Amino acid sequence: MRNTFFSIAFIMLANFIMAQNPLLTTQWNTPFGVPPFDKIKAEHFMPAIQEAIRLHNAEISAIKSSKLPPTFANTIEAIEHSGELLDKVNSTFGALTSSNTSPDLQKVDKEASPLLSQHFDGIYMDELLFQKVKSVYDKKSSLKLNQEQNKLLEETYKRFVRNGALLPENKKIRLKEINSSLSVLTVQFGENVLNATNGYFMTINDEKDLSGLPADLISSAAAAAKSKGLQNCWIFGLSKTTVMPFITYADNRILRRQLYEYFLNRCNGGKYDNNPIIKEIVSLRAERAALLGFHNHASYELDDNMAKNPENVYKLLNTLWNPALNMAKKEEADMQEMVIKQGGNFKIQPWDWFYYTEKVRLAKFDLKEEEMKPYFQVDSVRKGVFYAASRLYGLRFIKRTDLPVYNPAVETYEVRESNGNLAGILYVDYYAGPSKRAGAWMNNYISQKKENGKDIRPVISINFNFPAPTDGQPTLLSWDDVSTFFHEFGHSLHGLLTKCTYSSLSGTSVSRDFVELPSQFMENWASEPEMLKVYAKHYKTGQVIPESLITKMKNAAKFNMGFITTEYLAAAFLDMDYHTLSAPADINPQEFEKSAMDKLGLISPIPPRYNSTYFQHIFAGEYSAGYYAYIWAEVLDADAFSYFSKNGIFDPATADSFRKNILERGGTDDAMKLYRLFTGGKDPDVTPLLERRGLK
């Protein structure tokens, strides 16, 4: 009797605890169903993930145990609709660990990652469930499905196969072990980069050593010092938004080298050494690919992308490499000449490149980066991207102040169509911080789908690492930052404008080398004179950017493009070289990287955009064997924008075609087929890309 009493008491206590967890309510009681950030705590996630997994398993069990013959509705759609709570909890957790992490969230991440890996392995390697899926798939020609249904069926079947459903039991066991290990290793890689980035800062005590630095960077460095309790000094950390302007403007060459070398060697040895993690990740990925019948990890990943195989990727990269490298060598010669003119007696090094780029830019085009920044205050740029979306797609952005946020600096917007219908909710997270990973990205908190006849609109965030305003000085963006804003906003439009039935096919749920098309496509509007006159206004005077400055920017558009293209291509080659290794892949990452760059003939002043030990895209993100996707998609975006160049950058018919055939369709059809629908049946032409980058 006593045991029964305690059992009942335990169940009641467990139910009470679950009821207090804001993540576990059936519907989040917030406007538009956005995550209840004001109520969520780190300790809520693990119980929520465990409960969501339990509910998902129950839904899968119901599908498996059904005595009815497998059909598209009771099997494929049922799988698609299962795990809704897990999707919501996972999306919220993943977004927070990227944008606003903490030691408690990092601890949960390490515990939850293998648990989630095990959970999904259990689903996709379940023999009975797969046989039901296969039964429907084998009858697909007779099912009379529409295009989106047919795509869902194909993708569901492929997902099971790619996750080991066809393997014998002993290989399934090994695949589960590999997946579990990779889930932990990739989390640890990202944590190491974050900790190494936050763990170092360079202190300057002599004001003379600030020579050349812009006022906003000096102000930020002083504020950073004060935040650490330091007086009468300036500190510079390893975030890209600090390092890049420092090495661009600091006259002190020794300090440029010191900060840049720390930046370049993050996680290469020491407490946060990522070399052994890289070695293990590469080896495990190669082994997994072999288990699944692929030559290497790249072949496994690309089989599901537009590129299809490594040969096609290398073909594109090699087409661009020599023209880019030749241009970079000419740029190096120009800067070496500038070094000599200014009395220097040294060969230009990586920590010199950005500094002398500015000198040569000024000499050739009479254009300074700092001359442009006053016209790109962050709020003005935001208004610019909203204006472009309004002109192109009829969207309205209504600022909300009542939606819960995880950081008070985050802004929220209700996005409405021209007819008044809700397009979705947009979060904008602007500023860098120690709890935020590097870079810029877009997240889905809630994906668009149709459920019981209702169109569920998405909740999306775009995230940046812009320097925060200090001492009344607003955030002024570099041109690279402006392009990044337009880029991520392009991703958000892909998510907001989607009109699909199934969430797994909606929005940005497309192949890795197609997902960058809408984002890079949107960057084109940033530099158009017609757009600049709308949003580029001096933060003090409100004066529209002068025609003379627009002309200078246009003349300098291809300047330094050899460097920009070469450093990117070097990183894309490095990614492919790692992931075309066959199992077992026993490597020394530093030797491997050096060999890969030597093979290319990369010149010493230009390292890859990401050295291996902090290359999060491929070792802690979703771009393994996929970093090439940016240049692949740029072929598409440059070609697509050529249609706007002919017809006008706000031409309604062209914009409507891009929206209906690309943005609204998500992953409901083959990517190239969607692209041809936009172009009227024409394949993309590489010529606009070559012309844009000055490589033709």
Which residue reads 């013959």 in tokens?
A: 69
Neighbour tally for 231: CB within 10 Å: 7
Which of helix, strand or coil describes residue 191?
helix
Question: Judging by DSSP bridges, how do beta strands 441-446 and 449-451 pair with one another?
Answer: unpaired
Which of helix, strand or coil describes residue 537?
strand
Length of the chain: 696
Neighbour tally for 509: CB within 10 Å: 21
Let me know the angle formed at the C-alpha of 262 by 258 and 266, rounded to the nearest 5 degrees: 175
Give the integer Cα–Cα distance in Å for 392 and 381. Answer: 17
Which of helix, strand or coil describes residue 544?
strand
- Encode 407-417: b = buried (16+ Cβ within 10 Å), e = exposed: beebbbbbbbe
Give the integer Cα–Cα distance in Å for 692 and 696. Answer: 9
Cβ atoms of residues 560 and 359 within 8 Å: no
Select which of 51, 332, 488, 528 is catalytic.
488
Helix ranges (DSSP H) in 394-528: 479-496, 512-523
Torsion region of 468: left, alpha or beta (phi above 0 gives left; psi -120 to 50 gives alpha): beta
Structure tokens at 200: 């170092």
Cβ atoms of residues 245 and 586 within 8 Å: no
Q: If residue 252 lies in a helix (H) or strand (E), which one and from where to where?
A: none
**Residue 84 annotated to the active site:** no
Q: Residue 473 carries which DSSP code?
A: B
Structure tokens at 679: 């172009």
Catalytically annotated residues: 488
